[in-house]
Amino acid sequence: MTAFWDKQAATFDEEPDHGLKDPAVRAAWAEILLPELPPAPADVVDLGCGTGSLSVLLADSGYHVRGLDLSPRMLAIAAAKAAGRVEFTLGDASDPPYPEASCDVVLVRHVLWALPDPDAAIARWVRLLRPGGRLALVEGHWFTGAGLTAAECSDLVLAHRHQAEVHVLDDPAPWGKPITDERYLLVSRT
């Protein structure tokens, strides 16, 4: 898996929602995420952070951010973008090396669907949260047939938390283009 993502690193940010290079796309992600998070400078872990675009967006908004990814090449790009504002670690998003109750937000974008045991991953992620912490999952069920529906993702989260709120992300603004598949943000506060 590492080799696959290392190969993707050089061109990963060419997708508007990956690189957030377009100011309108970047602003759309800020409008989606920031209202759902506790106030800065809350501690955020961005699991499967890729090239760090969301990590940097949150750091620029005053959050203390740690990013984790399996790909050394993705992390090299992320570190260059962040210029020291984010702590990056090489590791597996399904089993992050952080202590329990060490963050206020666990953010995971387009990772859960690809894990061999999503239920076990969510259980680990929930343990990372301090009391009152938030789990924020950006996922989808894509036109290719891959992914998780919002209902499937909600069921996984509700096995470990009391609440899961789905925000449909069907506006083209955060993606930089029209979409035809199911994309959403699931936030669990308790």
> Whole-structure pTM over 0.85, yes or no?
yes
Domain annotation for the chain: domains and CATH numbers? 2-7+16-188 (3.40.50.150)
Residue range 65-106, pLDDT digits in tens: 999 999 999 999 999 999 999 999 999 999 999 999 999 999
- pLDDT tens digits along 57-71: 999 999 999 999 999
Q: Across the strands, what pairs with 186?
A: 137, 166
Contact predicate 184/158, CB 8 Å: no
- Yes or no: say if 125 and 108 are a contact pair by the CB < 8 Å rule: yes
Structure confidence by residue, pLDDT tens digits, 125-159: 999 999 999 999 999 999 899 999 999 999 999 99
Helices (H), the chain: 2-12, 16-19, 23-33, 53-60, 72-82, 118-128, 150-158
Mean pLDDT, residues 9-33:
96
CA angle 132, 101, 91 (to 5 degrees): 125
126/145 Cα distance (integer angstroms)? 27
